[in-house]
Structure 1
Amino acid sequence: MKRSLFAIFTAVLLPFTLRAQDQPTPQWRPVYHFTAPQNWLNDPNGLIYLNGVYHLYYQHNPVENKWGHMSWGHAVSKDLLHWQHLPVAIPEIETKDTTTWIFSGSAVWDQHNSSGFGKKGRGPIVAIYTADQPKQNKESQFIAYSNDGGLTYTNYAHNPVVDIQKKDFRDPSVIWLEEQHKWLMTVAVPAEHKVQFYHSTNLKDWELISEFGNQGDTRKIWECPSLTPLYVDGDPARKKWLLMISSGNQDAATGMQYFIGDFDGKTFTNTDTTQLFVDAGKTFYAAIPYNHLPDNRHTMIGWLMPFETATAPWRGQMSIPRDLSLKTTATGIRLFQQPSSVLNTYLEKLPPAKKWQQSAISLDSKDFPISNEQQFNTNTNWIDATFTPGTATDFGLKIAQQKDGSSVVIGYNVARNELYIHAGKDKQQLKAAPVNNQIRLQVLFDKSSVEVFVNNGEKVITTLVFPDKEATGCAAFAEKGNVQLNNLNVWDLGK
C-alpha cells in the first residue's frame, strides 16, 4: 500500500498508532506468521531463494511504528516458519536536495553476471525497486546489487533505470525468461489501471515491449503486479501465465485480483474475462512469488493489513507462504492456493502433545470441543477439517471462544453455499460449493490472523481478529441438524 491509498488509511489510524506505542499487545503477536521485531511492516519485497535459504525483504519503517521512512527490512529462513532477523538491507536515501524512499520491488540472482556487478565472476543478487521521491513528486525504478549474499546493497550509480516521469509508477517484478534469454520486468502504472512489460539483457538497460490494462476490476488503483508461468493441472504441455495485481475485490477496501492468459515473450493476452480474486477477505494484499525456487515450485507471501486495530511494539504481519497452482474446474482454469508444502515437515515433527487427530465425528446442536485448559488453548492452531453436509443449516468451527460461548465463527451455510467468518459485527463471506459432497476447511489461526483455505485452496478468505486474552477456546459445531465431521487434524504451533 502506497501513499495514494495510505492518506485515508493513516488519517483514520493516527490515534490508534499513538496509543499502540504505550500499550504493548503481546497477546496478538503471531507465532508462525512473520512480524518485524518492532515498528511498521507492509509489502513483502525481493523474495528470493538461494543456497537453501529463503530471503524475505519487506517494506519497513526502522524508526517508528507507523508508515513512513520506507526501507527494505530483511530476514532469512530455512523452513519458512522460523526467521532470523537481519539489519535493514536497503535504507532510505537522504541527501540535501532529495529524499528517496525504498518502495516495493523484487530481487533476482544474476547467475551469469549479465549486469557486470559481480565480483570474481560470481553472480550478484540484484534488487529492482521503486524509488519514491516525494520532493520531486515522482516514482521511478532503481536497481542495487549485493555481493555478500543479500546482506547489504550498493545502489547503481546511473539510477534510475526506468523513468516515465510519473507521480505513480511502481513495484517492479523481475523474472528470467529462459527461452528469450532476457530479463522481464512487470511494473504498474496505478492510476491508469495498467501494467507495463519491459525486457533487458543486463538489468540496467530496459526496453518497453507491451502494456496490459483496463480489464478486470478497475475501481481502484493497480499496484504490486507479478507474472508467473504455471502448468495447468501439473501438465508441462499446458502452460499458462498468472498475472496478479493488488487493487481491490468485490467487497473489500483493498485486495488482489488475477488474470490467466498467454505470454509470448512480449505480450500478455487475457484468456478469461471473468473477474477473478486471489482472496475474498479484506486484509490480504501486495503478495508476490519467490524467485529461483527449486522443483518448479511457485510460492508467494502477502501482507496482512492491520486496519484500525493497533498493535505494539510492531505493526503488520505476513501471510503464511502459499503454494500456487492452476487447476481445471467446472467454471474454467482457476488459481488454487495451499499452505506451502515446506511447512508439512515441521507439522510432522511436532510432539504428540501438539497434534491431535479424530475421525467419523457426528455433530448435532452441541459443540464438539477441540481445546481444553491444557491443550490447543494458545490461539495458534492449524486445523484441517473435512465435513459431509447433513441436515444442519450451518456447520464449521469456532475459535477464540470465551466461557460465555461467544467466539469467532468460521461457518458454512448449506442453503447459500457460503463460507463465512463472523467476528463480532464484522462478517465476510465467499461462495463455495461442496466437492464430492464434502467441504474441507484448513484454518490457520495465529493469535490475530485467520487464513481459511476452502476445498484444497480453490477459495481462500483471510482476516484479522483481536480476541481478549481469555478467549482461547476452540470447537466444531452444527446448527439446526446434524453433520458428519469426517476428519479432524489439529496442530498447536504455540511456543
Structure 2
Amino acid sequence: MSRINGDQGLVMHWAFDEGTGASTLESVSEVRDDIQYVFNQAEFTEQSGPQWRPGVAGNGLLFDGYSTSIVHSVNEEDTQLDQESASALSIGVWVAPRFYDWGYEGKLTAIVNRHHMERKQGYLLGMFRHGSWSFQVGLEGGDWRELWSPDGYELPKNEWSYVNAVFDGTFGTIKLYLNGSEIASTNLPSGSRLAEAFGTDLLIGKNNHSSLLAGVFSLQMFSGIIDELKIYNRALSAEEVAASYQHVLDSAHGGVHPRVPYDEIKLDRTPLLTDRHRPQYHVSPPAHWMNEPHAPIYFDGQYHLFYQHNPLGPFFYHIHWGHWVSKDLVHWRDLPVALAPAKDQLAPDGIWSGSATYDADGLPVLFFTAGNDSASPNQSVALARSTYAQDGDPDLVHWVKHPEPLIVQKQGIGAFGDFRDPFVWKDDDGWFALVGSGIEGEGGAALGFASQDMLNWTYKGPFYQADIQKYPYLGPIWELPVLLPLGTDKQGQHKHLLLVSPVGKGADVEVFYWIGQLDTHNLSFLPDQEEPELIDVGDFHFTGPSGMVDPKTGRKIIFTIAQGDRTSELEYQSGWAHNGGLPLSVYLREDGRLGIEPIQELQSLRGTQRLSIRDNSLAEANLSLKDVRGDMLEIQVELEPRHTTQLGIKVRCTPDGDEETLLYYDFNEAKLWVDRTKTTRHPGEKCSGVQGGKLELLGENLKLHIYLDRSMVEAYANGLKSLTTRVYPSRKDALGLEIWGDGEPLIKSMEIWNMQSIW
C-alpha cells in the first residue's frame, strides 16, 4: 500500500503481503521476522506454514488464536522511542477478529505490544472481553495510563476494523480512532513521555506477559486477520488518520468499507486432514477444542448437532456452541458458531451444555446453561430461538437469545451452585426439563421442571437421585441427564432410559443408565433396578451423553464425546482435542436389556471390502489377515470359543509386534477388555494399561463390531456393550490385524471394509 504523506515518522511497517511462508518483512528496517506457528514443525501432520488470507491491501496474516505470533527484536539503540521520539507514538492497523478472549487475569489480547505493566513501561494495543479494546502506555515517572473504547465501539467479529491509537505527550493527549473517526480521548500532563520497556521485544498477536494455562498454552493471543500494521514516532492528526482510512477504501475497495467473506476467516480443518491420529469419519470441529456434542434435533430435512467448543485453541477455556448439520447423521458440514458469550447479563462467561426441542409452532429452540460469574449461582437455564421464521434458513445459522434466564436456581433446590445441562422435551402436556445437580449430603440428582408455555417453569422436585452411601461412584453431582422413551416391554409397560454423568469427589465419570418407568404426573422416575449400568466399559472415553428421538425413523440415538486421552503438550502440537463418538442407536431388547448398535447409515462409508471369510481356524484366519492393513476400517467378526478362555483381536499392530492393541473377552470373568500396554512407544502419549468391564454373553459366541478410525477404536459386543478407547501408535506401520486366543477357536465369520472420510 502506498504511504500517506510519505509516512513521515514511520518507524515500523508490516504490510503482510507475502501471502506464503513463515516470515514477514518489517519494511523500514528491512528486517524479516519469523512467524511462530504450530505447524512450522509438525510431528503428526504435514508441515505447513502459517495461514495467509486476502487483506485490505494485498494479503493479510491469519492468527490462529493460540500459536501464531511475531517477535520483533528491538535493539536498545533503535530510534523508536529514543530521547527525541519518546514524546509521541501512533499505531495504525487493520484487524478482523475471529473470536474474543475471555480476559483471564484482566489481560488484553495483544494486537501489538512492547510493554511491562508492572514497571509501567512501554505500550500495549489490544482487545478485551466481547470486543472492547484499549491503548495503554507507561509514562516516565511511573504512571500507567489506559484509554478504552466506549460502549458501542467494540471491534466486531469477522469484519475489518481500522484501529488507530495516538499518544501525544507534548500536548498531553491519548486518542482512539475507529474506521477513521475519533471515538475516545483522555488528557495527560503536558510534556508526558513514554517510558521505554528496556529488554522487551515487540510482539504482534501475543501479549508480552500472557497468562499460561496448563503450563503450555499462552492466553491473550489474537484470533483473526491482521493487515497493514504501522507504527510512527509522531502523533498523527485526525485528518491523517481519516485520510489513511479513506485511502484503503478508495484504492482497493471502490470507496466502500472492506468486507471479510466468512470462508476466508473461519476455522479451517485442511491442515488437520493429514494428521495420522485425527479421526476422519467421526464428527469433529474444524480445529481446536471440543467437549460434549449435544442438542441434536431434526428440522426441515436436516439433523443439527451442537458441541461445546473453545475456538481459540485446543484447550478447555472459553466455551461456545459449535454447530454441525447433516442429512444422514454421517456426513456433517461445519457451520459458524451458533451461540457465543456476549456483553450481556445472561451469559457473558460461557455458553454451556444443553439440549434442543421445538416451540409451540414446531420451530427449533435451544436450551443452554448460561454462565455468568457475576451472578450467584453462576449457572442458570436459558433459551435461544432460531431466526428461521424470519429468514427461512434451513441451516439454522442464526440464533437469538431470550434476554432473561428461564430457570434460576434457588436455595433448597438441588446442590446450590451446581445447576446445569438442561434436557428439555415437549409432549402433549407441555414442556419438561431435567437439570443436572445433586441433593446436599445425598448425592447426585436430576431435578425436574415443567412448563405450559416454555418460558415459565415450575420446580417439581428431584426426578431421580442416587444413594451416595450405597453407590459412591455415582458422585455428589450429576451432569448431562438424558431421558429417552424405549417403548413397551413384554408386560405392556412403557419403559424409558435415563442417562447421567457423575462428577465430583469420588465420582466415576462415565455414562451410567437405568431402565425404568416415567411418572409424568409427579415428574419422577422409577428404575427397574436400583444399581446403574454402563453402556461403555472403555474407561473415560465414552462420555458427555446427549440423545434424541429421530422423527424420521423413531430410533433413539445417543451422541457422546470420545475423550482424547492426551497431554496438553501433544494437544498443542496437534491443534485439536477430542471428537465425537459414532451415533449409537439404543433400544429395548426382548430380554429386557438395553440394546446398542451403531446407526445403519454408517454403512454408506464402506469402501473396498478387504476380507470375507467363514468357518476358519485361528491359523487360517490370521493367514488371510496378513494382507489386510489399515487405520480406517470396519470389522465384523463372530468368534466361537471352543474351550478358549480368552479370545479377541489385535488391532493397529506393527509387523514385529512391537506396538499393538488387544481387544478381548474373558469367558471366565465375563468381562470385555482392551490391553493397551503395547499400544505406543511414544514417550509423550498417555494411553496405556488394561481397561474393561462386565459383559454377560449368556453362552453366546463373541460378536464384535469394530470401528478403527486413526486413533479411535470402538468395539460393540453382541449388541450389549461398547468399549471405546484411544490409540496413538508411534510407528506409521502399526496397521496390522491378528485374531488372538489361548486355544483353538472357530472364526465363524469375519468381514472387513475400508472406511471413507466424511470430510
Task: Pick which of 145-154 and 34-43 moved more.
Answer: 145-154
Match of residue 417 from structure 2: 167
Instruction: Summarize the Cα distance change of 1:34–1:430 in structure 2 as closer, same or farther, 3 Å threshold.
Output: same
Query: Could you tell me how far 1:256 is from its partner in structure 2?
Result: 1.1
Query: Could you tell me how far 1:163 is from its partner in structure 2?
Result: 3.4
Match of 1:206 among 450, 457, 471: 457
| Pair 1:182 & 2:430 matched | yes
| Pair 1:400 & 2:652 matched | yes
| 2:422 aligned partner, one-letter code | P
Instruction: Summarize the Cα distance change of 1:201–1:355 in structure 2 as closer, same or farther, 3 Å threshold.
Output: farther
Distance 1:244 1:210 in 2: 18
| Pair 1:27 & 2:279 matched | no
Distance 2:553 2:346 in 1: 47
Match of residue 132 from structure 1: 371
Unaligned runs of 5+ in 2: 1-211, 222-270, 389-393, 678-687
Instruction: Summarize the Cα distance change of 1:182–1:232 in structure 2 as closer, same or farther, 3 Å threshold.
Output: same
**C-alpha offsets along residues 236-258 of structure 1, whole Å, 9 cap, x if unaligned?**
93321111001279x99521111
| 1:164 aligned partner, one-letter code | K
**C-alpha offsets along residues 447-494 of structure 1, whole Å, 9 cap, x if unaligned?**
1111111112x1222111111242433323233321001011112114
8 Å contact from structure 2 (residues 629, 737) kept in 1: no
Q: Aligned pair count?
A: 456
| 2:320 aligned partner, one-letter code | S
Match of 2:748 among 478, 486, 489: 486
| Pair 1:338 & 2:597 matched | yes
8 Å contact from structure 2 (residues 655, 734) kept in 1: no
1:340-379 aligned within 5 A: 340-344=599-603, 346-347=604-605, 350-351=606-607, 353-364=608-619, 367-368=622-623, 370=625, 372=627, 376-379=628-631
8 Å contact from structure 2 (residues 347, 371) kept in 1: no
Match of residue 144 from structure 1: 384
Match of residue 304 from structure 1: 562
Match of residue 446 from structure 1: 709
Query: Could you tell me how far 1:423 is from its partner in structure 2?
Result: 0.9
Match of residue 293 from structure 2: 44
Match of residue 447 from structure 2: 196
More RCO (CA 8 Å, sep 6+): 1
Distance 2:213 2:637 in 1: 36
8 Å contact from structure 1 (residues 223, 245) kept in 2: yes
3-state SS of the aligned residue for 2:409?
A: strand
Distance 1:89 1:455 in 2: 38
3-state SS of the aligned residue for 1:164?
A: coil
8 Å contact from structure 1 (residues 231, 237) kept in 2: no
Distance 2:550 2:451 in 1: 18
Instruction: Summarize the Cα distance change of 1:39–1:271 in structure 2 as closer, same or farther, 3 Å threshold.
Output: same
8 Å contact from structure 1 (residues 284, 462) kept in 2: yes
Q: TM-score, normalised by structure 2?
A: 0.56
8 Å contact from structure 2 (residues 358, 426) kept in 1: no
| 1:342 aligned partner, one-letter code | E
Superposition RMSD on alpha carbons, in Å?
Answer: 2.8
8 Å contact from structure 1 (residues 175, 291) kept in 2: no
**C-alpha offsets along residues 349-405 of structure 1, whole Å, 9 cap, x if unaligned?**
x44x34532111111599445363xxx533111111101102434221111101211
Match of residue 63 from structure 1: 312
Match of residue 86 from structure 2: none
Unaligned runs of 5+ in 1: 1-11, 114-122
Distance 2:476 2:746 in 1: 42
Distance 2:722 2:216 in 1: 29
**Higher-Rg member (1/2):** 2
| 1:102 aligned partner, one-letter code | I
Distance 2:698 2:754 in 1: 28
3-state SS of the aligned residue for 1:73?
A: strand
Instruction: Summarize the Cα distance change of 1:191–1:492 in structure 2 as closer, same or farther, 3 Å threshold.
Output: farther
| Pair 1:295 & 2:553 matched | yes
| 1:152 aligned partner, one-letter code | H
Distance 2:647 2:620 in 1: 10
Match of 1:268 among 515, 525, 531: 525
Pick the structure with more strand per residue. Answer: 1
Percent identical among aligned pairs is: 26
Instruction: Summarize the Cα distance change of 1:307–1:221 in structure 2 as closer, same or farther, 3 Å threshold.
Output: farther
| 1:83 aligned partner, one-letter code | W
Distance 1:336 1:247 in 2: 22
Query: Could you tell me how far 1:190 is from its partner in structure 2?
Result: 4.4
Match of residue 148 from structure 2: none
